[in-house]
Amino acid sequence: MPNLPKRLFTKFLKWRYKNISHKTFTHMMSVVVGLLAGLVSVTIKNLTYFIESSLENGVIFFSNELYFILPIIGLALVYLYVKFVHREKLEHAVSSILFALSKKKGIIDLKKIYTPLITAPLTVGFGGSVGLLGPAVASGSAISSNLSRFFHINAKTRSLLIACASAGAISSIFQSPIAAIVFAVEVFSLDFTMLSVLPLLLASISGVLTSYFFLGNEVLFNFSLNDNFEIKDTLFYVLLGVGTAVASIYFTKMYFGILKLFKPLKSPKYRLLVGGMAIGIMLYFIPPLYGEGFGFINNLLDGNHAAALGKTPFDAYLNNIWVVIALLFGITIFKAVAMTTTFAAGGAGGIFIPTMVMGSALGNVVAKVINNIGLGFSVSESNFTLIGMAGLIAGVLHAPLTSIFLIAEITGGYELFVPLMITASISYLITKNAIDHTIYTRELAEQGALLTHDKDENVLTLMQLKDVIENNFKTVSPNMTLGDMLHESVAKSTRNIFPVVDTENALVGIILLDDIREFMFDTSLYDTLKVETFMHNAPEYIFYGEDSMKIVMRKFQDSGAWNLPVIQQGRYLGFVSKSKLLTAYRRELINFTK
């Protein structure tokens, strides 16, 4: 009975619709999604650490020079997997999720469940200077999307469950359930209501419990807060906020700058070779750039800068604190370079953890400069290390609340809440004024595919232009006579607009019924007047695939027209009417807010 499983599943769906409310099923699914996202996070971490430990025990400590070759090997393995198995270009994890939410109704390809579990450990394990959080979120989100489709869950709830997957992944990696919820709200632009918060809370709890179950009390940052906030240090935290803002702007501009630098290298093999060699050189001189960098952060928090810096060509000079400061500042500068080079060379990973590494180095540098400048000041280097991370997260990701709650949960308390708020808010405000969009969102904003906390803009983003295009307009050619137009088009049309197209279906003009009304009943003009006599340009044109719905709305507003033609690759496609556009907008608004 080959159809038995399908029939049983259909019966289950009917039973579920009848006996389990939509709200209850959503809560149940959020627990499952959080659990699976937590499992993904644990898996991706363990795979990466297995590769790293195997390499360290086998080759790295045998010869530091092998740093040159390891990134190339990792990137080559990723390249082979992408070419022969994945067969698609790797996408940025969070950006691709945001695009799926805005333009694909939350539908994510099935293969994005397992691809991050392969490509990210290979990239990071062999020295790629990126993080694992983004791939974990991507894999968890793909699981959530496909589970939602399997159980016939609607698009709005599917989007919520994808955000739940991100909360579960973050909660599992950092063991910080509150920060995970805040991240989902800030980055995925969710409304902070009980309808969204309770599923996020359930997913976050199940994610962190998964981490505890498999890893026990093992934490990323083995740190106990010893130095409390002192009011006399307020000005220094303001200074750190400004410094992290500048570093955030540098981080973002460097990211897009290096990607642009690699664009002329058309072949993935050349990008792999050039990028891999560049990463190898940076790793040789600055070993902490290897992989994610959690060990580096922990050593800084322990006050052991020698262990944090590792074995470098400058070991003989580490007794000079200013050499240490210079090397740590070099990590601040080159972490962004190494991370983006890894992406440009074809690697897979995330930007969240590299942001933390860069912030920890900068915070430690600022504290060391204050303590050693000779003016008698003394601040806590571990506290500045922590708060530097918060400043970079707030600035680079435009997520100040996430940064505050994440560091507060990492430290196990809220003694640093005030300096966290000072530094994170200053960094965010300066960066937000300097750069409108983050690494996650800039390209999406340019495509008109970015969801924000603005409901009106979100409705426009969710709308699809193809759904409002009308094709029931009778086309005419420029050489057609008035008589032929009246008999073949006007008499058979229910519309008062007639697009004029050439032999290649390119729009050369339009004719309104009002343009020919005074000549319609003069039969003597039927054979002498031609369409090109009456046609004129449209007040505005809509370009399919280029104009966002926000731009389409603006074109209607600026032109005052009720109908505008749609052009796709130079060819006439149809018309959009203002009435149909507004009707579709109202319908989408009702669906979005109910």
Across 91-95, 273-277, 345-349, 468-472, least confident range: 91-95
Q: Would strands 542-543 and 507-512 be described as parallel, antiparallel, or unpaired?
A: unpaired
Task: Please report, for residues 22, 148, 418, 435, 588, the alpha-carbon distance to residue 28 in angstroms, rounded to integers and kept in the order given.
Answer: 10, 12, 37, 39, 27
> Is the distance from CB of 300 to CB of 385 less than 8 angstroms?
yes
Q: Which residues pair with 499 in a beta bridge?
A: 510
Task: Name the class of domain 20-215.
Answer: mainly alpha
In the predicted structure, residue 280 carries a pLDDT above the cut 70: yes
Highest mean pLDDT among 68-72, 180-184, 412-416: 180-184
Q: Which residues pair with 131 in a beta bridge?
A: 350
Angstrom distance (rounded) from CA 203 to CA 39: 12
pLDDT in tens, 356-393: 999 999 999 999 999 999 888 899 898 999 999 999 99
pLDDT in tens, 222-259: 666 777 788 888 999 999 999 999 999 999 999 999 99
DSSP state letter for 414: S
In the predicted structure, residue 117 carries a pLDDT above the cut 70: yes
Q: C-alpha angle with apex 352: 112 to 40, nearest 5 degrees?
A: 40
Going by pLDDT thresholds of 50, 70 and 90, the confidence category of residue 355 is very high
Domain ranges of the chain: 20-215, 231-450, 457-593
In the predicted structure, residue 65 carries a pLDDT above the cut 70: no
Which pLDDT belongs to residue 61? 47
Distance of CA 129 to the CA centre of its chain: 18
In the predicted structure, residue 552 carries a pLDDT above the cut 50: yes
Domains 20-215 and 457-593 in one fold: no
Exposed/middle/buried for residue 502 (C-beta within 10 Å: 0-12, 13-18, 19+): middle
Task: Please report, for residues 279, 471, 560, the alpha-carbon distance to residue 565 in angstroms, rounded to integers and kept in the order given.
Answer: 50, 10, 14
CA pseudo-torsion sign 45, 47, 48, 51: positive
Going by pLDDT thresholds of 50, 70 and 90, the confidence category of residue 288 is confident
Q: Would strands 542-543 and 563-568 be described as parallel, antiparallel, or unpaired?
A: parallel
Which pLDDT belongs to residue 1? 44
Task: Name the class of domain 457-593.
Answer: alpha beta
Which pLDDT belongs to residue 472? 86
Q: Rounded to the nearest 5°, which phi and psi values hold at 571?
A: -110, 150
Which pLDDT belongs to residue 336? 92
Fold annotation for 231-450: Clc chloride channel (1.10.3080)
Query: How many C-alpha atoms does 363 have within 13 Å on its Cβ side?
Result: 33
Which strand (E) or helix (H) includes residue 508? strand 507-512
Which pLDDT belongs to residue 192? 63
Which pLDDT belongs to residue 458? 59
Which pLDDT belongs to residue 250? 95
Which pLDDT belongs to residue 400? 92
Average pLDDT, the chain: 86
Across 51-65, 107-121, 181-195, 483-497, least confident range: 51-65
The residue among 282 and 412 whose pLDDT is bigger is 282
Question: What is the rounded (10 degree) CA torsion for 425, 427, 429, 435?
Answer: -150
Q: Where are the alpha helices (DSSP H) in 175-288?
A: 177-187, 194-215, 234-262, 268-285
Please enumerate, as own/partner, the contacts of 177-182 that have beta carbons within 8 Å and a separation of 24 or more: 177/201, 177/204, 177/205, 177/207, 177/208, 177/409, 178/204, 178/405, 178/409, 179/402, 179/405, 179/406, 179/408, 179/409, 180/204, 180/207, 180/208, 182/399, 182/401, 182/402, 182/405
For the residues of 290-344, what is the DSSP string, one character each? SSS-HHHHHHHHTT-HHHHH-S-TTGGGTTSHHHHHHHHHHHHHHHHHHHHHHHH
Q: Please state the pTM of the whole predicted model.
A: 0.79
